[in-house]
Chains A and B, each alone.
Chain A
Amino acid sequence: MSSPEIIKLFVLLIKLIGAVALILFGKRMKKGVRWIALLVSMTSFALFISYLPYLQNGQGTPLRLDYLPAMGIQFSLNIDWLSFPFLLTEELVTILAIVYALDYIAEDEGCHLFYGLLLLFSAGMSGTTLANDIFLFYFFWELMLIASVFLILRWGGKNRNATALKYFILTHLGSLFVLVAFIMVYTQSGLDHFSALWNAFQSTPENLPLIGALFLIGFSVKMAVVPFHIWLPDTHSEAPMPVTIMLAAAMLSMGTYGILRFPMSYFTLEQFTIFSLPMMIVGVISEFYGAIMALVETDIKRIIAYSSVSQMGYILFGLGTMTFAGVVGATLHVIYHAIVKALLFCCVGWIIYVVGIRDIRQMGGLVKRKPLLAACTVIGGLSIAGVPALAIFNSEWMIFSSGFQTPYTLLAILEILGSILTAVYILRFIGGVFFTSGNVGELKVAPLSIQVATVILSIATVLAGLFPKPLFNYVVNEIPMILGGGW
């Protein structure tokens, strides 16, 4: 096995081993489990980064091991330019979520299980992006769901049971759409690795509209765009905060990855055209609907959750334009959204921790008492509102510009003007918590880990906004793989 293959294997394996070890033996380690979890996630990240030179030099051949040779099923892993941005997002978000969680779970609350499942959740996402065959993709796709369901069931809010069940069933339903599409493709090729799929897709062009629709619906459920978003607000608000961060910042991006990896990688530009307008329309509806709901919602955690619905609308719109700017912008938006959403949820977690309530109507006046928290929230808020020099602007303008490169100018103008609603709800959020008069009583001091994670993300938001070029240069490499590379 060559070095790149070993690296790929261990990026995934180290998390799986870490997760299993913590679940089985973590109880004896007491306080050490959280540091082990952090070490594991950082090691995985370091390994992933060490793969970058191989990727840049074009030495990244897939790792292939036979799993069920008789059925043409392999255990195949790969990191390419398409999976790179998503894997980067997952790895970073995992580290930040674990840092945030360092003081979140008490030892007597099953700390080892929490970190073990958190790593398993992360491994599920990493496995999905590393997978180079549909069997493995689907396996890890479901693994991340199962791990996150257990996390919500055990450490969630008071409605956790109903929420977890709802989350499981709805997202699983979406997965079934994907599964059906996979089965249809697999039956054509008889092989499950990605390189064999092109012929499978193209051999039955009459099935492509149906396959495309199945993929898009399935992955849209994971993206939580309207009307498939109904699992998201409840799940985000009931899940423990580190899990919410991972759900919002990393897991939602899996839907985008799925769309890019399958329908948009194996369809030609002409074949995908029929999905363009529906995707753009759903994207605009999602943007408006999520923002409007965030505007009316009073639970601060749910406000930010609805914001995700709105932001996923931008991504779907960008992908739907089928333009260079749209696809690159959508991919960048995934990364920037992850950073900013993680930041906003960290801030929300911090607010809830110090205030002890979640209803925005009962809050106010925190700016003078918690200036650092206010500053971080303002950075996150301004960023999601698309203010330049902060992360999301760089992707947002590309998505906006892509709309005008299609025949649907009106939709593009709507998309731009809809973003003012984002500004409105985020101003309401910031104003309600920090700048209105309110008596929230005695404030608690948040643990250092929460503060550190929040500040790191705030700095990352600014840096990502100021220096977008490196990331852009990585993301742009995925373009030849999308829609037949006919750009």
Chain B
Amino acid sequence: MTLVIITILMPIIAGAACFTLLHRISSVPRKALTTAIMVLLTIFMLNAYLHENSPPLCFSWITPTGDMCLSFERPSLLLALLSIVFLLFTFLLFQKHERSTRQIGMGLIFFSTAAMLVALFTDHFLLRYIALEITGLTIIFSTVLLDMPLEEKWGHTKNVFLGLKLGDLTLLAAIFLMFAHSGTMDISANFSAALTLPAMEVNVVTGLLLIAIWVKLGLFPLSLWTSSVSKLPKHIRTWFVDFCMPLLGAYLLYRSVPLVGVMHSAAKMVFMFFLVVATAVTQILQKKKNGASSIKDASLQFLSINLVLSAFYLDQKQFWFCLVLWFISRGLLVLIGNKYEIAIAGRQININHIFFMVGGSILLQLFSFYWYLSQTGMQSWQLILIGSIGWWQSFFGIGQLRQRWRAMAADKAAKEHKPWKVFSTVAVGSIVVLGLVWLLTTLLVLHARGDAYLLFSTVPSMRTFPIFTPQFWIACLVGGFCSWLVMWTQRHHVFQTGILLLNKVGKIFRMDEKVARGDPIDISTQTAKAFIKLAKFLYRSIEKDGLTTFMKGLKKVFVFLFDSVEKYISRDMWTNVIRGVLGSSRRLQKAHTGIMRLNLLWLLVVIGAMVVLVIRMNGAGV
């Protein structure tokens, strides 16, 4: 039995065991067993990673698709390994705090893990599609675990199903567009063949792929499914929404990078601009009370946006680096954010530590992105987009500051910290976390790429990496300084006084929404005000009312079609025709009681017409 089979089978067996056996044993051995399975899986993956030459598993499913193979490749294996490690940590994090680690949930997690591994290890497009769909199915089935009334639960199930289905169908369309050209389901061959397609078709394929990726990454406005599973037990939600599905989306993006690169610049601009604006809207309208959770979600969106954006600029090899960084940053963010959410209830952790680590992870990813960006030659249209990104980031920053302010204002304990203590924690926390993560990531990536196994041999190539650039260190200092500034201004009521004064003078900075007194966002300019208005308008008109109005309109059309066309042709018209035919034939019956008794006069007319037709077609001969 090859290692590939074992790696795939293990989570399947574990999942089946969760459904059938594990609920019969008591809590402690059950948790221990579940942990052991995950550790074992990690060991197997690690073993596979170190011994790459494991024979592939091939099987024939249906002839036109060719053989379907599963094999280990370093890039996918590394991502799989990382995801399993994150899963293990997530489980360990929540198993103490989750009131009921329900086995059905663990079973679904294991099944989705198996499907995810298949999706990562196969180079067969159809098999990958099937694996993606099955992963989606496990998420759909997980909605049974939502603790809410049946009807509400079903609403969420529908949202998840339709949300994910949209992504799957666009992916399927993209696959078949490439398949029609390449004649093979081999992913690499398909992408190579797609590059030779006419420009228009390349744009269509890439557009379809990007929509699928968008859905899987859970980016607005195709993030319907993520909000629908937000009330799942934490460990299940974390696995599905934060790790499993986004990883699959990101891996698909990694494979699609060559296509994205040759996309028409106008199409790129549309996609990127829409991505930036749409996400900014969601960030600004973030209404969650919990500051840490809000920052975590916003940061995850931000990371994903950066990843998608980097796909537009980088080649595949460079993008791979960003992908690994993205996933590690994401994992850290999620784990730390979750840890904070658990801790905040018991007041065990200082909020500042969390923010610095979260911020550090963002900086890490951000700077790697800009570093790579700086390696590419800029064109004028790219600068416009960079400008839009910067524009968005400024709002993101304002949003983050605002959240931070609220959290600090609400947290009495945080007020008591000295600002300089905050600053020093920022600097030290960022340096330590970033340094460790960077080192680990670099080694992993270089190892996966097979460039080098020892640190010293990578030093020359690492010279230009972000961690060794002055901008990186400046950014850390600036981050710390900003936090300190916020603390300082809060202590001395700088903004509050200024805002009150400004409001008294012109009332031009008053926001529509109710904000806490002294909220830093009140210092925003007319632009911010206009933007928020625009964002709210977009939200109301497109997301909220717009969708409802559109659906109502659509329903009206459907009902109209049904009432006027379908009902008419299937019932009323039929009744009228029958009545007419029967009436006319009855009248004929009265006139002639012979053959007309059959009441099928019209049938004879049709037959007659057809006979005439036949005679005509045969040159007037029967």
Show the binding face of A for B, using Cβ within 8 Å.
162, 165-166, 169, 172-173, 176-177, 179-180, 183-184, 187, 207, 210, 227, 230, 233-234, 292-293, 295-297, 324-325, 328, 364-365, 367, 382, 385, 387-389, 393-394, 397-398, 400-401, 403-405, 409, 412-413, 416-417, 419-420, 423-424, 427, 431, 435-437, 468-469, 472-473, 476
Q: When the two chains form their complex, are residues A472 and B62 in contact, meaning their CB atoms are under 8 A apart?
A: yes
A180–B126 CA distance with the chains assembled, in angstroms: 44
How many Å from the CB of B166 to the closest CB on chain A?
Answer: 6
Q: Does B161 contact A (CB under 8 A)?
A: yes
Sample 29 A-B pairs with CB under 8 A, ordered by A number: A162-B574, A176-B607, A179-B610, A180-B610, A183-B614, A187-B614, A210-B617, A292-B558, A293-B566, A296-B562, A365-B150, A367-B150, A389-B134, A400-B176, A401-B179, A401-B180, A404-B176, A412-B173, A413-B173, A416-B173, A419-B169, A423-B162, A424-B162, A427-B161, A431-B157, A435-B151, A436-B151, A469-B62, A472-B62
Residues of B within 8 A of A393 (CB): 130
Residues of A within 8 A of B169 (CB): 416-417, 419-420
How many Å from the CB of B397 to the closest CB on chain A?
Answer: 38
Interface residues of B in 138-178 (CB under 8 A from A): 149-151, 153-154, 157-158, 161-162, 165-166, 169-170, 172-173, 176-177
Residues of B within 8 A of A468 (CB): 61-62
A324–B63 CA distance with the chains assembled, in angstroms: 12
Q: When the two chains form their complex, are residues B574 and A166 in contact, meaning their CB atoms are under 8 A apart?
A: yes
Interface string of B581-622 (1 = CB under 8 A from A): 000000000000000000000010011001001100110001
Residues of B within 8 A of A162 (CB): 574-575, 578
The chain B residue sitting closest to A173, CB to CB, is B606
Q: Does B509 contact A (CB under 8 A)?
A: no
How many Å from the CB of B555 to the closest CB on chain A?
Answer: 8
A30–B443 CA distance with the chains assembled, in angstroms: 81
Given contacts A423-B162, A427-B161, 9 further A-B contacts (CB under 8 A): A180-B614, A187-B614, A234-B570, A325-B64, A382-B137, A388-B134, A437-B149, A468-B62, A476-B63
Q: With A176-B607, A431-B158, A436-B150 given, is the CB distance from A230 to B570 under 8 Å?
A: yes
A210–B617 CA distance with the chains assembled, in angstroms: 9
Q: When the two chains form their complex, are residues B176 and A401 in contact, meaning their CB atoms are under 8 A apart?
A: yes
Residues of A within 8 A of B561 (CB): 292-293, 296
Q: When the two chains form their complex, are residues B60 and A169 in contact, meaning their CB atoms are under 8 A apart?
A: no
Residues of A within 8 A of B204 (CB): 409, 413
A162–B571 CA distance with the chains assembled, in angstroms: 10
Q: Does B123 contact A (CB under 8 A)?
A: no
Q: When the two chains form their complex, are residues B133 and A437 in contact, meaning their CB atoms are under 8 A apart?
A: no
Q: When the two chains form their complex, are residues B176 and A388 in contact, meaning their CB atoms are under 8 A apart?
A: no
A342–B505 CA distance with the chains assembled, in angstroms: 75
Interface residues of B in 419-453 (CB under 8 A from A): none
A113–B203 CA distance with the chains assembled, in angstroms: 62
Q: When the two chains form their complex, are residues A184 and B618 in contact, meaning their CB atoms are under 8 A apart?
A: yes
The chain B residue sitting closest to A394, CB to CB, is B62
Contact among A169, A233, A397 for B603, CB-based, below 8 A: A169
Residues of B within 8 A of A183 (CB): 614
Q: When the two chains form their complex, are residues B559 and A230 in contact, meaning their CB atoms are under 8 A apart?
A: no
Residues of B within 8 A of A389 (CB): 130, 134
Residues of B within 8 A of A166 (CB): 574, 578
A401–B204 CA distance with the chains assembled, in angstroms: 16
A367–B149 CA distance with the chains assembled, in angstroms: 13
Q: When the two chains form their complex, are residues A293 and B562 in contact, meaning their CB atoms are under 8 A apart?
A: yes
Q: Does B129 contact A (CB under 8 A)?
A: yes
Q: Does B569 contact A (CB under 8 A)?
A: yes
Residues of B within 8 A of A179 (CB): 610
Q: When the two chains form their complex, are residues B176 and A233 in contact, meaning their CB atoms are under 8 A apart?
A: no
Contact among B151, B165, B176, B613 for A180, CB-based, below 8 A: B613
How many Å from the CB of A59 to the closest CB on chain B?
Answer: 24
Residues of B within 8 A of A295 (CB): 558
Interface residues of B in 265-280 (CB under 8 A from A): none
The chain B residue sitting closest to A410, CB to CB, is B204
Residues of B within 8 A of A394 (CB): 62
Q: With A176-B610, A431-B158 given, is the CB distance from A388 to B63 under 8 Å?
A: no
How many Å from the CB of A238 to the closest CB on chain B?
Answer: 12
Q: When the two chains form their complex, are residues B137 and A207 in contact, meaning their CB atoms are under 8 A apart?
A: no
Q: When the two chains form their complex, are residues A417 and B134 in contact, meaning their CB atoms are under 8 A apart?
A: no
Contact among B63, B179, B610 for A472, CB-based, below 8 A: B63
The chain A residue sitting closest to B622, CB to CB, is A187
The chain A residue sitting closest to B63, CB to CB, is A472
Q: With A180-B610, A293-B562, A409-B204 given, is the CB distance from A435 to B176 under 8 Å?
A: no
A210–B558 CA distance with the chains assembled, in angstroms: 35
Q: When the two chains form their complex, are residues B162 and A427 in contact, meaning their CB atoms are under 8 A apart?
A: yes
The chain A residue sitting closest to B150, CB to CB, is A435
Interface string of B546-567 (1 = CB under 8 A from A): 0000000001001101100010
Interface string of B50-63 (1 = CB under 8 A from A): 00000000001111
Residues of B within 8 A of A473 (CB): 63
Q: When the two chains form their complex, are residues B578 and A412 in contact, meaning their CB atoms are under 8 A apart?
A: no
Q: When the two chains form their complex, are residues B617 and A387 in contact, meaning their CB atoms are under 8 A apart?
A: no
* A404, A468, A476 interface centre (most CB from chain B within 10 Å): A404
How many Å from the CB of B441 to the closest CB on chain A?
Answer: 34
Q: When the two chains form their complex, are residues A420 and B162 in contact, meaning their CB atoms are under 8 A apart?
A: yes
A409–B607 CA distance with the chains assembled, in angstroms: 40
How many Å from the CB of A71 to the closest CB on chain B?
Answer: 14
Contact among A227, A365, A417 for B173, CB-based, below 8 A: A417
**The 5 A-B residue pairs with the shortest CB-CB distance in the complex, in nearest-first order:** A435-B154, A404-B180, A388-B130, A404-B176, A401-B176
How many Å from the CB of B14 to the closest CB on chain A?
Answer: 19
The chain B residue sitting closest to A323, CB to CB, is B180
Q: When the two chains form their complex, are residues A420 and B166 in contact, meaning their CB atoms are under 8 A apart?
A: yes
Q: When the two chains form their complex, are residues A436 and B154 in contact, meaning their CB atoms are under 8 A apart?
A: yes
A472–B569 CA distance with the chains assembled, in angstroms: 38
The chain B residue sitting closest to A398, CB to CB, is B64
Q: When the two chains form their complex, are residues B177 and A409 in contact, meaning their CB atoms are under 8 A apart?
A: yes
Q: When the two chains form their complex, are residues A207 and B617 in contact, meaning their CB atoms are under 8 A apart?
A: yes
Q: With A230-B570, A387-B133, A435-B154 given, is the CB distance from A405 to B558 under 8 Å?
A: no
How many Å from the CB of A448 to the closest CB on chain B?
Answer: 26
A183–B158 CA distance with the chains assembled, in angstroms: 52
The chain B residue sitting closest to A211, CB to CB, is B617
The chain A residue sitting closest to B613, CB to CB, is A180
How many Å from the CB of A224 to the closest CB on chain B?
Answer: 11
The chain B residue sitting closest to A417, CB to CB, is B169
Residues of A within 8 A of B153 (CB): 435
* A367, A397, A473 interface centre (most CB from chain B within 10 Å): A397
A207–B615 CA distance with the chains assembled, in angstroms: 12
Residues of B within 8 A of A169 (CB): 603
Contact among A230, A292, A367, A472 for B574, CB-based, below 8 A: A230
Interface residues of B in 112-134 (CB under 8 A from A): 126, 129-130, 133-134
Q: When the two chains form their complex, are residues A387 and B137 in contact, meaning their CB atoms are under 8 A apart?
A: yes
A389–B130 CA distance with the chains assembled, in angstroms: 8
A324–B62 CA distance with the chains assembled, in angstroms: 14
A468–B173 CA distance with the chains assembled, in angstroms: 22
Residues of A within 8 A of B151 (CB): 364, 435-437
The chain B residue sitting closest to A179, CB to CB, is B610
A169–B172 CA distance with the chains assembled, in angstroms: 41
Q: When the two chains form their complex, are residues A397 and B578 in contact, meaning their CB atoms are under 8 A apart?
A: no
A400–B562 CA distance with the chains assembled, in angstroms: 27
Q: When the two chains form their complex, are residues A405 and B180 in contact, meaning their CB atoms are under 8 A apart?
A: yes
Residues of B within 8 A of A417 (CB): 169-170, 173
The chain A residue sitting closest to B173, CB to CB, is A416
Q: With A404-B180, A420-B165, A420-B169 given, is the CB distance from A431 to B64 under 8 Å?
A: no
Residues of A within 8 A of B555 (CB): 296
A389–B578 CA distance with the chains assembled, in angstroms: 46
A296–B555 CA distance with the chains assembled, in angstroms: 8
How many Å from the CB of B2 to the closest CB on chain A?
Answer: 21
* B153, B158, B173, B208 interface centre (most CB from chain A within 10 Å): B173
Residues of A within 8 A of B64 (CB): 324-325, 328, 398
A43–B460 CA distance with the chains assembled, in angstroms: 79
How many Å from the CB of B487 to the closest CB on chain A?
Answer: 50
A420–B173 CA distance with the chains assembled, in angstroms: 13
